């Protein structure tokens, strides 16, 4: 690349850091992705960003795909390239964004992994034998009871709960949206047990769940506590907090068949995001059909 074009790229990342305040993870990903594009330009002896055409972007992405890159990674690379060229457009350095019309191969949608009711009962009824386990059980019950995201549970304050009304408020969910959720009786009982023993220090504010230091428990700590809980209770399967949210959604949809209600409870902006749980529900129904239907059980002659 020409020196001026290298300087433009450097200025782009400065803008991402200072003005956009993108995360370090995003910046590193973008740098890696655009470095791959720079490598393509070197191979094709393209010296200026303005000389790249849509056919070049398509060829580059196809080459990355042949190297075994996943659809998700290709989508991310295209996003980085589009962002860079949008920056060049604003600066008047290019006349069009060559990455705009290019599409990455479609990504196969994976079904979220869930636990069945018996597995969850075994997980949540294993018994708590210490203050921290009483807190952990309250967290896990609340995950499954209200379908919370990990970030939402960690951010909960005492003021967000109304145990008499059996509700809680997620004040800042994904996309900055708030929502009111019901709390089940098992979760309420577990929370009350925790509140009797809750460790608190002034800098924890009004945090519902606190660490041994009396400060708000972090997201990674919650993940590690769930791993430890499963290990101590003899549960071999790797279970993460989002599996409890997935299980909440799947079990609720299976019982109610009310997709809109599940969408509201999960805080999904688009119902298409919630619809993935209908596939899980259908799988469950198909298994019941195969086991129970007289004609399904008979093998062909």
Catalytic residues: 149, 174, 242, 245, 268, 277
**Residue pair 259/271 in contact by the 8 Å Cβ criterion:** yes
Listed in sequence order, the DSSP H helices in 50-116 are 54-66, 71-90
Euclidean distance between CA atoms 226 and 137, whole angstroms: 9
For residue 87 the two structure tokens come to 């920056």
The three-point CA angle 130-131-133 to 5° equals: 65
Residue 145 and residue 264: Cα distance in Å, rounded? 15
CB 142 within 8 A of CB 148: yes
Q: How many CA atoms lie within 13 A of 144 on its CB side?
A: 27
Angle at 183 between CA 111 and CA 152, to 5 degrees: 60
Exposure b/e, 25-58, CB count within 10 A at least 16 = b = ebeebbeebbebbbebbeeeebeebeebeeebbe
């Amino acid at each position: 690349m020409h020196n001026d074009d290298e300087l433009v790229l450097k200025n782009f990342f400065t803008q991402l850091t200072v003005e956009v305040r993108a995360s370090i993870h995003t910046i590193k990903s973008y740098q890696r992705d655009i470095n791959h594009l720079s490598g393509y330009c070197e191979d094709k002896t393209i010296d200026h960003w303005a000389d790249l055409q849509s056919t070049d972007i398509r060829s580059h992405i196809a080459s990355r795909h042949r190297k075994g890159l996943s659809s998700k990674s290709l989508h991310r690379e295209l996003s980085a390239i589009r962002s860079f060229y949008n920056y060049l457009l604003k600066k008047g350095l290019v006349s069009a964004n060559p990455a705009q019309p290019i599409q990455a191969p479609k990504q196969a949608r994976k079904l979220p992994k869930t636990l069945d009711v018996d597995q969850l009962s075994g997980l949540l009824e294993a018994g708590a034998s210490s203050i921290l386990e009483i807190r952990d059980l309250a967290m896990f019950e609340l995950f499954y009871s209200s379908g919370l995201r990990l970030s939402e549970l960690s951010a909960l304050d005492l003021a967000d709960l109304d145990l008499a009304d059996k509700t809680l408020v997620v004040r800042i969910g994904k996309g900055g949206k708030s929502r009111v959720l019901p709390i089940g009786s098992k979760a309420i009982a577990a929370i009350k047990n925790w509140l009797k023993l809750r460790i608190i220090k002034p800098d924890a504010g009004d945090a519902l769940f606190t660490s041994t230091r009396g400060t708000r428990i972090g997201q990674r700590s919650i993940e590690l506590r769930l791993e430890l809980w499963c290990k101590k209770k003899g549960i071999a399967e790797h279970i993460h907090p989002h599996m409890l949210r997935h299980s909440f959604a799947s079990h609720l949809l299976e019982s109610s068949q009310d997709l809109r209600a599940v969408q509201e409870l999960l805080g999904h902006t688009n119902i298409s995001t919630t619809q993935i749980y209908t596939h899980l529900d259908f799988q469950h129904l198909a298994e019941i059909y195969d086991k129970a239907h007289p004609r399904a059980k008979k093998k062909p002659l």
